[in-house]
Amino acid sequence: METVHAIKEVIAFQQHFETSLQQQLRDLQDKLYPHMEALEALPEYLQTRTQYLPGTKGLYEVRIPLGIQHWFGFCFIQSQKLTILYSDFLEKKQKRSLLPLRKVVILMQKCLQTQHSMTASTSWEDIKERVYGPKHGPRRAKLDRDVASFLVGQRLKQARKELGFTQERLAQILQKKRSYISRLENDGGNMTLKTLHDLVHTGLGGKVLVSIEI
């Protein structure tokens, strides 16, 4: 099994990913947004969401839960870029896209042959502009606030796992319910600085560093 390392950028080959995303309801589009950001920002999250497909010479599948559906993608990683070749929004009971794996391998080979073409692939940054609107627009501003909370929750989850704590164990230390820990890790929204301090300092034995950039 190949190890997935950190990436610097998510890109999409041809137009399938963007077209598929445009066809979804706004709520589902917004649910996917923080997960795509986390793939770029958190190596640990990338590792938990990707699975190497043996015998494909570099092909991975990515699966992201989105409530009653999940986003499924075939991708490969090269030069610290995750390239999405094909993706689908699937019902939970569907294990994989109906696109045959051999066709995805052909797509990967075609992508590698045209990797120097500026028109063959599109960056996630450009896709965000077209699907979610301008960076400082109201929709993107709200989504980026949600991303910040989501990333905090994911970092807390990773820290807990590195210590070998279960959610139940951490909840016991903080004298809280397991559902409280689960909510903070999976969302992170409405978390006050006091809550974050208690969780990190008392629960995990760490410290919180706050940085403000203007």
The residue to which tokens 């989504």 are assigned: 143
- Residue 22's CATH number: 3.30.2310.20
**Residue 118 pLDDT > 60:** no
Inside any domain, residue 68: yes
Structure tokens belonging to residue 115 = 């990797």
Inside any domain, residue 209: no
Q: Are residues 19 and 125 in the same domain?
A: yes
Q: Are residues 119 and 162 in the same domain?
A: no
Q: Are residues 126 and 152 in the same domain?
A: no
Q: Are residues 51 and 123 in the same domain?
A: yes
Q: Are residues 82 and 113 in the same domain?
A: yes
Query: Structural domain of residue 160, as residue ranges?
Result: 143-203
Q: Are residues 62 and 168 in the same domain?
A: no
Encode pLDDT of 194-214 as tens digits.
888 999 999 999 998 877 777
138 φ, ψ (degrees, to nearest 5): -60, -40
Instruction: Report, as an integer, the average pLDDT of 95-114.
Output: 86
Q: Are residues 102 and 122 in the same domain?
A: yes
Inside any domain, residue 213: no
Q: Are residues 111 and 183 in the same domain?
A: no
Inside any domain, residue 87: yes
**According to the model, what pLDDT value does residue 117 have?**
60
HSE, side-chain direction, 13 A CA sphere, residue 93: 0
**Residue 186 pLDDT > 60:** yes
CA 135 to chain centre: 19
Inside any domain, residue 51: yes
The per-residue pLDDT of the chain, averaged, comes to 90
d(CA 106, CA 101): 9
Binning pLDDT at 50, 70 and 90, where does residue 189 land? low
Inside any domain, residue 13: yes
CA 199 to chain centre: 23
Instruction: Report, as an integer, the average pLDDT of 126-140.
Output: 96
**Residue 1 pLDDT > 80:** no
- Residue 178's CATH number: 1.10.260.40
Q: Are residues 39 and 108 in the same domain?
A: yes
The residue to which tokens 């999940």 are assigned: 70
**Residue 86 pLDDT > 60:** yes
Inside any domain, residue 138: no
Binning pLDDT at 50, 70 and 90, where does residue 40 land? very high
Q: How many domains is the chain partitioned into structurally?
A: 2
Inside any domain, residue 165: yes
**Residue 133 pLDDT > 90:** yes
CA 22 to chain centre: 18
Q: Are residues 44 and 106 in the same domain?
A: yes
Q: Are residues 124 and 57 in the same domain?
A: yes
Binning pLDDT at 50, 70 and 90, where does residue 116 land? low
